[in-house]
Amino acid sequence: MASSNFNMEDLSPKSKLMEYLKKLEEKIEKLEVDTQEAKDHQAYASQITWGKLRRLQQQSHCSYQAFKDLMENFNQLLSISLERVDLSTKSRLMMGYMKKLEAKLEKLEDCLEFIKGKILPFSGNGNDDECYNWKLKVLQNLDCLDCDDFTNVRLIALSSEGYALIW
């Protein structure tokens, strides 16, 4: 497992994105486990309630028809309560949080694809004005992304090769 003692500011934007994606995947896995636990707890709670009703019928020695009516009423109440509260409040909040994380992950992937298509190679002859104009165009493209992780980048022009290193 990688050590967490490194500085995120020293990483390239792609490395930052990959680290962030790993964290998001871990959170999504944890939320899926918590959601399954909530569903299991709900099923267990309904079994306990059924057991209590059976014991009540046995202890009260009521007739089969009276017990059947009681069970039908209980089923109606249970279905109404399950419609209102599909899962526990905690699991519903977790599902909403998971959807937000997935949307954020999708947005970050779109940002990375957008960056790949928008950053033009540096074509200047080493002239300061051309270098400044190129940096300005790239920064304008990065500003329209609205991604917090990609806004703090350092642009370095490699004029001999015609490429840009984004760090």
Q: Please determine, for residue 32, whether its predicted confidence score (pLDDT) is greater than 60.
A: yes
Residues linked to residue 165 through DSSP beta bridges, in sequence order: 156
- Report, as an integer, the average pLDDT of 133-155: 61
Q: What does pTM read for this prediction?
A: 0.26
For residue 142, the surrounding DSSP H or E stretch is: helix 128-143
Residue pLDDT, tens place only, 45-81: 555 555 666 666 565 555 555 666 666 666 666 555 5
Distance (Å, whole) CA 108 – CA 146: 10
Residue pLDDT, tens place only, 7-18: 656 667 777 777
The SS3 call for residue 166 is strand
CA distances (Å), origin 1, targets 5, 17, 22: 12, 18, 12
Distance (Å, whole) CA 61 – CA 74: 18
Burial 8-43 (b: 16+ CB within 10 A, else e): eeeeebeebbebeeeebeeeeeebeebbeebeeebe
